[in-house]
C-alpha cells in the first residue's frame, strides 16, 4: 500500500487489534524474565529494555535499503530520532516499574496516554480540549491516586508500589511524546518501515550501555531469559508498537491511544492466570476510574479520522 493511499477503516482497526493483542503480552514476558533470575534489579530491567529494542532494530535492518524509496522532508529524520529518545525513556522506566509494583497498576498507569496526548496537543498544537476532556482528565487523576495507594495480593515483585507507579507514569508521558513525534515524522513523508527502523535503532543505542552503569551484563542469564527477550522483540515491539506507529498516520493520536486502553485489561487477565496476581481493591477501583476518565477525555477530544 502506497504511503499516500488511505487505508479503509476496517484495515486500521484490524491492525490496531493485532497491536493490542501483541502489547498485552509485554508485561507477562517481562515478569517471566524477572522470575528466571534471583534478584531482578534496575540493571536487569535495562538489559530487557535494551535487548528488546536492539533485536527489533536488527530485524528491521533489511528495510534500510528502501530508506530513500519515498521522498521525505529532512525534518522527518529529526522527529523519528527524537521519538526514539522518548521510546528509550519509556522502556527504561516502565519495565523497571514492573519490578516494584503490580502488573495491573503498572499497565493501567502507563496507558493513560490519551490524557497526556490531549494535554501535549493543547500546548504544542494549540488544540484546546473540550470541557468533557478536562472532566475526563480530572477523573483520571482521581483514579491515579487510588492506584498509587493500592497494591496487589499475591504479587511477588511489588516491593515498592509508589516508586513503581511513578516510574510507570513517567513511561506514559514518554510514550505519549513518542507517538506524537512519530506522527510528525510520517506526516513529513517518512515511510513506516523507515520511521520504526530509525526510532527503534536510536532507542536501542541509547539503552545499550545503561545496564553496565548498574553493574549488569548481557550474558550469564538462564536460557529462558533470552527466549522472553526474543518474544518481546517480536510481539510487543515489532507487531504491537509498529501497528500503533502505522495507525497514528491515518487516525487521531487520541483514538490510537484510546485503543491502547485495552492493554491493561488483557495484561491484568494474563497476570491473574499466569501469576495468580489479584489486584487489590484500590488498584481495581482506581483502574476502572482511570479507564472511565480516559474514555471520557478521548470522546471529548478531536478524534476525526484524517
pLDDT at 220: 93
Instruction: Determine which of 28-32, 252-256, 263-267 has the lowest per-residue pLDDT on average.
Output: 263-267
C-alpha cell read off for 139: 477523573
Grid coordinates representing 209 are 550501555
Beta-carbon count within 10 A of 113 CB:
29
CA distances in angstroms from 236 to 38, 232, 271, listed in the order given: 25, 5, 16
Written as nine digits, the cell of 210 is 545503561
The pLDDT of residue 198 is: 95
User: What percent of the chain lies above the pLDDT cut of 70?
Assistant: 85
pLDDT for 2 beyond 50: no
Average pLDDT score, the chain: 83
Read off the pLDDT of residues 173-208 as tens digits, 9 standing for 90 and up: 999 999 999 999 998 989 899 999 999 999 999 999
Higher pLDDT, 179 or 133: 179
pLDDT tier, 225 (very low <50, low <70, confident <90, very high otherwise): very high
pLDDT-based confidence at residue 298 (cuts at 50, 70, 90): low
Q: How far is CA 151 from CA 106, 126, 200, in A?
A: 11, 38, 33
pLDDT at 258 over 60: yes
Q: Provide the H-helix boundaries in 8-97.
A: 9-23, 26-36, 42-59, 75-97
Residue 306 has pLDDT above 60, yes or no: no
Burial class from Cβ neighbours inside 10 Å (0-12, 13-18, 19+) for residue 114 reads buried
Contact status, residue 167 vs residue 161, Cβ threshold 8 Å: no
* Closest alpha carbon to 249 in 189, 201, 203, 197: 189
Selection from 117-126, 142-151, 224-233 with the highest mean pLDDT: 224-233
The band of 305, judged by pLDDT with boundaries at 50, 70 and 90, is very low
Could you tell me which residue, 66 or 148, shows the higher pLDDT? 66
Of 67, 61, 40, the residue nearest 228 (C-alpha):
40
CB 258 within 8 A of CB 177: no
Q: How far apart are CA 179 and CA 301, in angstroms?
A: 16
Is the pLDDT reported for residue 52 higher than 80? Answer: yes
Q: Is the pLDDT of residue 151 over 60?
A: no
pLDDT at 303 over 60: no
Among the listed residues 233, 295, 293, 302, the one whose alpha carbon sits nearest the alpha carbon of residue 259: 295
Is pLDDT of 280 > 60?
yes
What value does the mean pLDDT take over residues 213-236? 94
129 has a pLDDT exceeding 60: yes
* Residue predicted with more confidence, 79 or 258: 79
The pLDDT of residue 22 is above 60: yes
Is pLDDT at 158 greater than 70 in this prediction? no
Where do the structural domains in the chain lie, given as residue ranges?
9-300
The answer to whether residue 133 scores a pLDDT higher than 90 is no
First to last CA, the chain: 17
How many other β-carbons are positioned within 10 Å of the β-carbon of residue 256?
Answer: 26
Amino acid at each position: 500500500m502506497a504511503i499516500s493511499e488511505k487505508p479503509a477503516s476496517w484495515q486500521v482497526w484490524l491492525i490496531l487489534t493485532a497491536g493490542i493483542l501483541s502489547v498485552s503480552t509485554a508485561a507477562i514476558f517481562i515478569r517471566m524474565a524477572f522470575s528466571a533470575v534471583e534478584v531482578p534489579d534496575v540493571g536487569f530491567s535495562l538489559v530487557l529494555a535494551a535487548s528488546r529494542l536492539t533485536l527489533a532494530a536488527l530485524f528491521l535492518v533489511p528495510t534500510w535499503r528502501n530508506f530513500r524509496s519515498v521522498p521525505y522532508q529532512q525534518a522527518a529524520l529529526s522527529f523519528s530520532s527524537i521519538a526514539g529518545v522518548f521510546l528509550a525513556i519509556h522502556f527504561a522506566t516502565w519495565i523497571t516499574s514492573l519490578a516494584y509494583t503490580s502488573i495491573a497498576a503498572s499497565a493501567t498507569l502507563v496507558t493513560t496516554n490519551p490524557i497526556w496526548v490531549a494535554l501535549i496537543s493543547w500546548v504544542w498544537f494549540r488544540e484546546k480540549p473540550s470541557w468533557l476532556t478536562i472532566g475526563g482528565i480530572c477523573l483520571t487523576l482521581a483514579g491515579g491516586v487510588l492506584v498509587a495507594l493500592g497494591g496487589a495480593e499475591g504479587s511477588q515483585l511489588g516491593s515498592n508500589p509508589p516508586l513503581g507507579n511513578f516510574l510507570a507514569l513517567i513511561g506514559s508521558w514518554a510514550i505519549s511524546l513518542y507517538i506524537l513525534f512519530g506522527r510528525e515524522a510520517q506526516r513529513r513523508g517518512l515511510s513506516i518501515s523507515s520511521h520504526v527502523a530509525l526510532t527503534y535503532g536510536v532507542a536501542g543505542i541509547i539503552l545499550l550501555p545503561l545496564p553496565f552503569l548498574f553493574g549488569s551484563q548481557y550474558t550469564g542469564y538462564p536460557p529462558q531469559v533470552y527466549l522472553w527477550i526474543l518474544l518481546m522483540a517480536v510481539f510487543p515491539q515489532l507487531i504491537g508498537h509498529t501497528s500503533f506507529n502505522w495507525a497514528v498516520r491515518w487516525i487521531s493520536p487520541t483514538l490510537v491511544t484510546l485503543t491502547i486502553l485495552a492493554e491493561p485489561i488483557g495484561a491484568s487477565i494474563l497476570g491473574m492466570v499466569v501469576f495468580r496476581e489479584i489486584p487489590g481493591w484500590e488498584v481495581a477501583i482506581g483502574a476502572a476510574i482511570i479507564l472511565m476518565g480516559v474514555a471520557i477525555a478521548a470522546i471529548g477530544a478531536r478524534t476525526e479520522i484524517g
